[in-house]
Chain A
Amino acid sequence: MSRRLVISGLSLWFLGLVLACITLILGLVWTPSVDNETMNAPAAQRIFYWHVPSAWASMLAFTCLFAGSIAWFWKRSEWGWKLHVAAAEAGMVFGLMAITSGPIWGHAEWGVAWDWTDVRINTFGILTALSAYLVIARRSQPDGDDTRDTFSAIGLFGFALVPLTYMATRWWQRRHPGPVVGPGGGGLEPSMATTMWFGVLAFVILFVGLLLIEWSILNAEQRISKIQTKMDGDV
């Protein structure tokens, strides 16, 4: 197993954690407070600096999950399966971060934690639940082509929710705010935008680190299984 892969994963994961901590400090100390007329809960607004980057990192993970699922179906690619597994775990962690912080912020800002009529909130919830299902279900099933086919199919069809989730606030905005950056974005005060982009960088690095660590774990599991099969054969 590649020692370089392990070291790279751990280094990126650690770097991502440090950058995420700096983002948190910037978000709490450096960025200005929004006024009471703009938002009902100015302090809770600072949840934004981890909420948005974690949501974006999870969308990146869901996209990798889709790419991995295609690679497995199309070429029976081993790396495709590893990407599927690693991305499902990353998608679950970052998705859970966004899906837990969002309702806390929503409760403070809107007075309700969850709106069942808001498409963005609900499709994102389903995506996170889907990745959690893939993580839990894989651990309870023996590895094999049938298992991989089933989970990859879920990864493929589940991806349809990613563009829907992305466009939801543009097409049917109800409660979740619309885009603040990019085309049609409402715009951000410069220090708030800088902190948010710093957070995005931190969470992308965290995501890559997590992916490499998961990859190392899968490599180690496969190597152990191969050696054990060989030793059993020798006996």
Chain B
Amino acid sequence: MGDMVNLVIAYTVMIGLLAAWSWMLGKRLLELLSRLEVIEGNEDE
């Protein structure tokens, strides 16, 4: 049983790390793309 708990904890931690990093990257990329769109729009004007 304790053995299984270790397995669950390890995969939870690894999935958590991947998910957190994916979310942070995606958020940053979207923020920058929308900011770029606004700035490029202003530049054209």
Task: Across the interface, name the chain A residue whose C-beta is closest to B39.
Answer: A227
Cross-chain contact of A100 among B3, B10, B33, B36 (Cβ < 8 A): B10
In the bound complex, do residue A108 and residue B17 qualify as a contact, i.e. CB atoms below 8 Å apart?
no
Q: Which of B14-41 contact A (CB under 8 A)?
A: 14, 17-18, 21-22, 25-26, 28-29, 32-33, 35-36, 39-40
Give CA–CA (A51, B21) in the complex, Å. Answer: 17
Query: Hey, which chain A residues are within 8 Å of B6, CB to CB?
Result: 41, 43-44, 47, 104-105, 107-108
Question: Which of A154-162, A182-190, A217-225 has 4 or more CB atoms under 8 Å from chain B?
Answer: A217-225
Quick one: given A41-B3, A44-B3, A216-B29, are A93 and B9 in contact (CB under 8 Å)?
A: no
Interface size on B, residues (CB 8 A): 26
Number of interchain pairs (Cβ within 8 Å)? 88
Task: Across the interface, name the chain B residue whose C-beta is closest to A90.
Answer: B21
Give CA–CA (A104, B2) in the complex, Å. Answer: 11
Does A54 make an interface contact (CB < 8 A)?
A: yes
In the bound complex, do residue A93 and residue B21 qualify as a contact, i.e. CB atoms below 8 Å apart?
yes
In the bound complex, do residue A220 and residue B14 qualify as a contact, i.e. CB atoms below 8 Å apart?
no
Q: What are the 6 tightest A-B residue pairs by CB atom distance, in nearest-first order?
A: A220-B32, A108-B6, A43-B3, A104-B10, A101-B10, A44-B6
23 contacts between A and B (CB under 8 A): A1-B36, A13-B22, A41-B3, A42-B3, A44-B3, A44-B10, A47-B7, A47-B11, A50-B11, A93-B21, A97-B17, A97-B18, A100-B14, A100-B17, A101-B10, A104-B9, A104-B13, A210-B21, A210-B25, A220-B33, A224-B35, A224-B36, A227-B40
Interface residues of B (CB under 8 A from A): 2-4, 6-7, 9-11, 13-14, 17-18, 21-22, 25-26, 28-29, 32-33, 35-36, 39-40, 42-43
